Amino acid sequence: METIYFDNNATTAVEPEVLEAMLPYFKEGYGNPSSIHHKGGEVAAAIRKARQSLADLLGCDPSEVVYTSCGTESDNTALWSALRTQPGKRHLITSKVEHSAIINNVAFLKHQGYRVTEIGVNRSGLLDMDQLMASLTPDTALVSLLWANNETGVLFPIEEIAEICHDKGISFHTDAVQAVGKIPINLKNTKIDMLSLSGHKLHAPKGIGALYIRRGYKFAPFMIGGHQENGRRGGTENVPYIIGLGVACDLSQKRLPDENGRVRAMRDRLEEGLLTIASSMVNGDRVQRLPNTTNISFEYVEGESILFHLSHAGICASSGSACTSGSLEPSHVLRAMGVPFTAAHGSIRLSLSISNTDQEVDRALKIFPEVIEKLRKLSPFWKDGAPVLDNALLSCDSNSCQICS
């Protein structure tokens, strides 16, 4: 049984060209790029080439790129730099649908006495711009927002928000881990101060990320050590992974038309087919979103059960409910969007890549209805082909939810 991998927002396969480019730097290309001899110089030159490739994908200058270990480190670096360079400011703004790298940081900062405003979203997952505008103050040290939501693929108007923050003298950071390589980005035309990315979301290996820092922006390093990255991130460079990320960026640049054309068409066909299943719905705006992502709820069944049966049939996907062991609390993203509990618990994220095929979509569209029908026969909320709960009367609230409580 061949695997259908529809979980590319979780991680992507390392492309053969990426691996091939990395391998020499595990063998003969072992020099330290800081060394002045020829072995070090050869490696330093390869890193410069890789940095240029990343800068080309982002539309920025290579000097504005700092390598990190992952997206989480990049997020932490951006957040803590903004606070350390502006010690007099005690207010942060983010959203209710951020990645845990930001959510858990701001939760910690609340306990340190910082004031945090979490901007809400509407039923489609779009940011409440009025609330954002009303929340900006002279005491705001940083606004940090996802460019693309990892669960729904919904895009925030990041370039517009960056302009607003810049005009008010407020630092702006975006976690673009899900956006880089999937949509065109040209940072030279924006007022974004800092941007985070992660290599394993665009067919590079896990363990390499980067932080864009706009030229002239006041910055304080998070990793303090040697002179690497122009003193902005200490530690000997992870050479093979930097090289791999550079090749992945070259490939992503070439494949952007395919990502926004063929991949989008496959996603749309998959989505339309799944919506023919009774009591199914798309979570998130269907226009302002990534080309590869759909989040679909199948009401009155559990997401984890769907995933188990899909995996048994060879399909890899993720549950939007993101439940933890011993808890049926659905994802914070879907709760913030006001998704009804009967739908939130049965949400599935499908995220495609350039490696997926129309044949895989066809196979998935055959398997999904069989899985949902089987599980609904076991559901206490579904009887004789119809729901036994009024979805309009119930919403997912951890204090009142009939499933969560």
Instruction: List, in sequence order, every residue forming a beta bridge with 382; answer none if it has no partner.
Output: 387
Q: How many CA within 13 A on the CB side of residue 247?
A: 19
Residue 323 falls in the annotated catalytic set? yes
Query: Angle between the 303-312 and 358-376 helix axes, to the nearest 10 degrees?
Result: 130
Cα gap 368→346, rounded to integer Å = 13
* Whether the Cβ atoms of residue 6 and residue 315 lie closer than 8 Å to each other: yes
Closest listed residue to residue 346, CA positions, set 314, 389, 313, 384: 389
Cα gap 317→308, rounded to integer Å = 10
- List 70, 316, 323, 404, catalytic entry: 323
Question: Can you list the alpha helix ranges (DSSP code H) found in 171-314?
Answer: 239-258, 264-274, 303-312
Closest listed residue to residue 351, CA positions, set 291, 306, 288, 299: 291
CB atoms within 10 A of CB 386: 10
User: How far is C-alpha 53 from the chain's CA centre?
Assistant: 21
The residues annotated with a catalytic role in the active site are 323
